[in-house]
Each structure stands twice: as structure tokens, then as C-alpha cells.
Chains A and B, each alone.
Chain A
């Protein structure tokens, strides 16, 4: 576009090999790049803080095993270990505890494996039923019918000194299937 000679700069200080102004421009660009990086990296880090760990899992006590009668499935509620003081009741997380015999348990997330609605246990028909799209699960958490692509999410558990512990802390979704 600048092929016409009269547009060429007449002031020799404006030519490309004039080092002072061109240095200032380059230095300005460089400094801005540094400033932007120094500014942006902590901001991005701040924004990504919730993803600082791939999974939020801790051992949580659900109380003494005597609270769960054998051959029954009961709702238990724990306080999420990663809760913030202003979470209120949203951090009171429920789970279904099935005690088979002795120290043999199964602990399920209440979230349906289809779209996360809270499944309800019906002891009469021995089914978990989802209120949203009618997915059902057997007593052992296996998919019985409906749209769910898999069984209920199950928490790892252990019994220590007569107390039931589960490894939990995050809402189970498809790609966090370790519940």
C-alpha cells in the first residue's frame, strides 16, 4: 500500500534502522507481553482452583454399624468434608446404605446414573426408583430397567472399630465414575 514514494517518511529518524524508536516499540511490546503473562497466570490459576485435584475423596464416618439393620437399606446423611462455612444444608449429602450381613455393606449414591435425580428405595418391591425418567435399580444397585446406562454409583466402604466409613466427597457423574 505504501508503494508511492511521497508517502515514504522524510524524517530520517522514522526509518526502520533508527534504533531508539524501534527499540522503544519492541521494548513496549515485550514489556506488555510480560505484564500480561504475569497478570494472567495467577488469574487463570485462581479460576482453575476448583479443578486443582482430579477427585475430591475422603474417608467419612456414617456412624456405628448398629445403626444399619441387617438385610435392610437405609438412607444415611453425611456432612461433605470439603464443605465451606456458607454452604448451609447443601453440604448435607445423602446416600443409601445396604447392610447385607455382619460387616458386608453396599453404599450407593442417591444420584441416578441417568441424569442425577435422587433415587428412592422401595423395600416392598426391592427396587430403587428414579422419579425423573423411571429408571430402576435392583437392591444390589444393578440397573433393572429404564434409561440409566449403568448401575448406581457405589462408594468404597470399610468398617473400623464397629463404625462404617465410606470414601466420598464429590457428586458422582458419568466421567467421575469412582463416585
Chain B
């Protein structure tokens, strides 16, 4: 019992310092910020808050018209786009605002990470900030669902397929989240409740806490190499610095913030007015299977990782690696609460930031072109380049026709057009010998299905004959170097 009360007291002290301690010197002058914190690097937090307000106002407006019911939601979006005066504009503001919000939050997080501002006594400010980022991403995800169209339906299906892989309880979890056995009315009602009631309440509460702590503890001073954060001296030093050369928050500390926030809001407005709202695309009818779901911008990295990781790594990544990474991000200030703040004195942090940013940027960029997805219509919509057919034998031309009609082009490009799931066929003959081509077509392998059952021997002959012409004029086709030169590379 005594042990428990000591624990409670320790936690209470820890909390009350972060929530209650004041970084302001007690000389009774106006609220001050460190003069070296008046910088363009410090404007992202306030801009994030302003865009959050924009999301709140536009979201409230949308909720006045939107019908959160599976049989009407899509029509109500069309109504907003085409009938409700300025409905398209408010939808656009809400959509583009959310893009700006996520981007600003990530920049803000990066800025705080690089400046080492998450260290004592601002640990809880960082933790609440990371939680806000997670909640905002949850808002983005559920918001995408409320845009209840074909894409949103299949994005949900992908999400639930992933949840359904949870060991043991996956099935129950999927039914609980869907509110029934299929993605339908109950699912949309759930997502609406989460997006419009639960998450906004949590986000507002956490934002209040976040801002309160930022205000009470004060804006962190610009980091200096060699100046350590020390639990015993930090707050006293900070107060001294403010007393020595602090500047009043109003107006000096707000000047840059005001300017930047206005630019951001204007940027959201201009983007929305020019580009308009996103979707809705096709009706949320699962029986229309001619579709290719794509997540919104913020989750393209996830899609890319799911497309690029070997399939046996999908589940461990989603259920083990990702939660651990998020946990590490939350716990960062508890792992390194004191010490150097300057980024050049924190080489590991610098490397982690660069690697994380590179992975995020590269996977997002790949996600926009999704080379791992077949182009489902390429076989009937992208013709064989005419140059590849000039002066060919009838057998070779028959092969070219088969490459179209057997859907090869869905995964293989010719002349730069077609799927990129498999290698482009333009120079195939320089890479594979005749026998290797036959084996690859019949048996598949390396992400290619075996076509042995779907092709007659004569058809394989024709396809291989065409593929053997796929080499530059001045470069001969590949040959089996185990055979003496001059002998034809046929037979086993």
C-alpha cells in the first residue's frame, strides 16, 4: 500500500511539473519567449492549429448536409458537389485542408525532433503531439471512408483483410469493426461515429493539453551545441534566459506565426478553389469489380510497403514492426530525456531522421505510380508498337497477337506502355535464350503465373518466335554458352 502511494506520488509529481510548472520568470512582466526562438523554424505548430480549426469548421458544415447512411451517402456527396451552393468548395476545403494538416504535422514533428525540443521538461508535450498525429491519421482514414464511393469501399476491404490476419481474434475483430458480416450500413455508421464524435473529442482534448503545456513550459530556446539539458538546472536557466533577453510573445513572438498561418490558409483556399473536391468516384457497389483501389496520399507509403515486401513479411510488418515503430516514436522523450539538443551532436538522431524521411518519401513516390499493380486493361487498350511488327514472319506476328490476347501486357510493357509488374519485353531476347523463354512461359516463377495450361504448344511456339525478335538490331539474342558456337540453341 505504501509502495503504491509512493508510486502515485511520483507520477503525480512528474505530471504536475509538466502540466503546472511555469517557464516564465516571476518578475511580473508580460509573457515572453526566448529571442532566439523567434524564427521561421518555429511556425509549424501554430499553422497546424489553425488548419485544425479550418477542418473543424468545414467538417461541421459538411455534417449538416451529409447523409451517413450506406444507401444515401454517395448521393449526398453528389448533392454537395452539384446542387448545394458552394458544397463543392466546402468539400474541397475539408479535403485539401486535411492534406495540409497531415503535412504540417509531420513537418512540425520533424522540426521538434531536429531541434531536440522534446527533451526535459517537454516530454509530455511531445507524447501528446505524437498521439495527435496518430489520431489525425485515424481521422484521415475514416474521412476517406466517409467519402463513400467505390474506392472507399475497396480501401475498407483491404483494411479489413489486413485486420482479419490478426492471429486468433481476427474474425471477431473484423465483425466488430464492420458492425456485421459485410461492409455495409453499419460499417459506415461506425466510421461516421468515430470520425465525427469520438476522434474530434479526443483531438480537441489533447490539443488543449498540448497547447497548455507549450504555454506553461514556454517555447523551447534555440539549441546550442555543448549546452546540455539537465533536469536540475534547465527550468532555472530557461527563466534566466527569458529575464535576460526574452521578447514579449505579443506581438514579437507571434509575428512569423501570423504571417505563415495566413499564407497556409490562403494556400488551402487557392488549392481548393482550383482543384476542387476529391470524388466521389463510382458508386460503392461491390459487384462493380472493375476497380483499382488506391488509398489517399497519406497512406501510399503503407500501400507501397504492402506491395513491395515479400508476402511472408506483410503480417509481421503490420502487426509487429509498425506498432513498435509507433511506440518508439511515442517513447522517444523517455528514451533520451536529457543531454545535447543540437542535431549535429546527435548523430544517431540525424541518421534516423534521414532514413525515416527517405523511406517515407520514396515509398510515397512509388505509391503514386504503383509499379507492382498490373494494368488490367493494357492487353486490350495498348497496341503492340508498329515497329515491332515490320518485316516479321506470320508466326512472329501471331505471337505478338497472343501476347496481347493472353493478357501478357497487363504485367509486361512494350515500347514503354503496359504493366510494370514484370520486366518490359522490349529486350527479352538479349536476356533469355529460347529454352529459357519456353520454360518461363510454361512454368512461370518470380511472380509470373505458369501459362502451361492456358497455352497450346503451337501458341507457345508463336509467342517465343515473337519474343526472339525482341532485341536491338545491333545486339544478338542471348545464347546458351554451354553449346558450341554455330549450333542452333534448340532441344534440351
Contact = CB atoms under 8 A, between A and B. Distances in A.
Interface of A: 48, 50-51, 54-56, 75, 77, 80, 82-84, 86-94, 110-112, 114-120, 122, 124-127, 129-134, 136, 138-139, 144-149, 169-171, 173-176
Contact of A174 (B165, B181, B291): B165
A176 B164 contact: yes
Contact of B171 (A130, A136, A144, A176): A176
A122 B410 CA distance: 11
Contact of A91 (B161, B171, B182, B408): B182
Contacts of A84: 180, 184-186
Given A125-B407, A129-B407, A173-B171, A146 B447 contact: yes
Contacts of A171: 157, 160, 174, 178, 181-183
Contacts of B373: 131-134
B416 interface: no
B298 to A, nearest CB: 18
A131 B292 contact: yes
B160 A116 contact: yes
B157 A149 contact: no
- What's the dominant secondary structure at chain B's contact region? loop
Contacts of A127: 407, 449, 454
A148 B311 contact: yes
B283 interface: yes
Interface in B183-198: 183-187
A149 B311 CA distance: 7
A146 B311 CA distance: 8
Contacts of B408: 125
Contacts of B170: 173-176
B283 A115 contact: no
B460 to A, nearest CB: 13
The 6 closest A-B pairs by CB, nearest first: A173-B164, A88-B71, A116-B161, A175-B170, A144-B449, A56-B181
A123 to B, nearest CB: 10
A176 B287 CA distance: 21
A100 B160 CA distance: 32
Contacts, number: 209
A83 B314 CA distance: 32
Interface residues of B, number: 71
Given A80-B182, A88-B72, A134-B373, A118 B160 contact: no
B335 interface: no
Contacts of A88: 69-72, 185, 284
B184 A138 contact: no
Interface of B: 69-72, 153-154, 157-158, 160-172, 174-176, 178-187, 283-287, 289-293, 306-307, 310-312, 314, 372-374, 376, 405-408, 410-411, 419, 421, 444-445, 447-451, 453-454
B180 A115 contact: no
Nearest to A81: B181
25 contacts: A51-B172, A54-B172, A56-B180, A84-B186, A87-B71, A88-B70, A89-B287, A90-B184, A90-B285, A94-B287, A114-B314, A116-B157, A116-B160, A117-B293, A122-B407, A125-B408, A126-B454, A127-B407, A133-B373, A139-B453, A144-B449, A145-B445, A146-B447, A171-B181, A174-B164
A8 B284 CA distance: 70
Contacts of B291: 118, 131
A127 B448 CA distance: 11
A125 B406 contact: yes
Nearest to B455: A125
Nearest to B446: A145
Given A122-B407, A169-B181, A174-B164, A117 B314 contact: no
Contact of B184 (A77, A91, A134, A173): A91
A48 B176 contact: yes
A91 to B, nearest CB: 5
Nearest to A116: B161
Nearest to B453: A126
B314 A147 contact: yes
Contacts of B410: 129
B313 to A, nearest CB: 10
A115 B161 contact: yes
Contacts of B407: 122, 124-125, 127, 129
Contact of A124 (B185, B284, B405): B405
A21 B87 CA distance: 62
B186 A173 contact: no
B174 A173 contact: yes
B376 A114 contact: no
A144 B174 contact: no
Nearest to B163: A173
Contacts of B71: 86-90
A86 B408 CA distance: 42
B293 A90 contact: no
A115 B306 contact: yes
A148 B314 CA distance: 10
